[in-house]
Amino acid sequence: MEAQQLPRARHIIWIILLGAAGLMGTISYLTWDLKMSAHSVQHWAVKDESGTVISGQAALIDTLRVVIHPNSMKLPAPAKLPKPDVTINYAELYLTYNTPFLIWMVLFSVTVACAMALAPVVLKTIRDIYSMFGQKWTNIGNAMLVVLLLGIFMSVTNQNHYVLMLFTFLKDSHVLLNHPCVLNLFICIGLLTGLAAMCGQLLINDAIGALPDDVAGMETGKLAVAASNFSLLRGRLKFLLSVDAAIIVLSILTTDALRRAIIQEVQVTGTNKNGIFPQEFAYMYGMVFTLYLALLYLPIYYRLRSKGAFMVRNVPDTDEGKKLSAKFLIAETPLESFKVALSILAPVVSALLPGIIKIV
């Protein structure tokens, strides 16, 4: 018994170490790459696709007056200042007035840490499904191909030439971070873990076909194996859904925090009170990923549910038969159904949450 527990203890230690490394590594990089800009006023020209500055009566906007650090204190003229008694380092005050940026740094680091910690667990789940249900390498190849296409669809969905993207804004306006493009490397960690979880769900879909068609009259040993395999697929499917939901929720909260940090840092004259990145951006982000979660999880879930009902169709309606059927029939309690629905709707809920509780 102790020998069986040692590998699990090692796995937990590695998960903790990976999560801690992801957290500290990401925070250290963001702190190092942080750009402390002073209070200034800029004018931005708006260009068309050819690079020509739009002007004249037909232009929607000629120039945008941009104020960096709109909430920073404007001190009186130097001649009127008394001799200071205390000198405070500006770097230590930088995040005081832009707390959304500090929140974003922490959330972004937590997202990377969770993705790194969950990655080995997801890979072990995929390995268990592959080995226990006698699947072939072609099954993993097909699942990876589908997941790759899903990743491409997600990337295309989030690209819009008529919407100013957050990282593009950071790069062009030179605020908050010196090298925002490097963030894509950290984002890939979360993306790969999420896609691996999706790959695992597709393997579960293939493994459902390996379950027996009828358990009535089956030998006790084989019946126990069938019940164990069915329960394993059901539990792993929920786990992988939770992994995807957790990563997406953290990504949405991170995106909203970065949006608020930019609004706090940069004020564009003539825009609405939410600045050039309104709350609706986060809403759309949440709705799109909720759709992806539902499209991937629900068909597999209902196939597993139908398979369980098909396996016990010939079981006699006796007390023993009812006990046997209960092992394969998915009749979730209202609480369990709520948990699954909440996992699928988590992206939309997380997109609405900051606006509801008025996070500034």
- Token readout for 122 is 């997801």
Higher per-residue confidence, 184 vs 360:
184
CA 39 remoteness from chain centre: 33
The DSSP bridge pattern shows strands 63-68 and 40-45 to be antiparallel
**Residue ranges making up the domain that contains 93:** 2-356
**Closest C-alpha to 193, from 139, 239, 258, 137:** 239
- Give 96's pLDDT tier (boundaries 50, 70, 90): confident
- Give 343's pLDDT tier (boundaries 50, 70, 90): low
Q: Check if the beta carbon of residue 240 is closer than 8 Å to that of residue 122.
A: yes
Sign of CA dihedral 211, 192, 247, 145: negative
Checking if the pLDDT of 149 tops 90, the result is: no
Can you give the pLDDT at residue 360? 47
Give CA separation, 134 vs 55, 129, 138, 209, 211, in Å: 66, 8, 12, 11, 11
Tens digit of each residue's pLDDT (9 = 90 or more) over 63-84: 455 555 555 444 444 555 566 6
Tens digit of each residue's pLDDT (9 = 90 or more) over 202-257: 999 888 888 888 877 778 788 888 888 888 888 898 899 888 888 888 888 888 88
- Give 109's pLDDT tier (boundaries 50, 70, 90): very high
Number of domains in the chain: 1
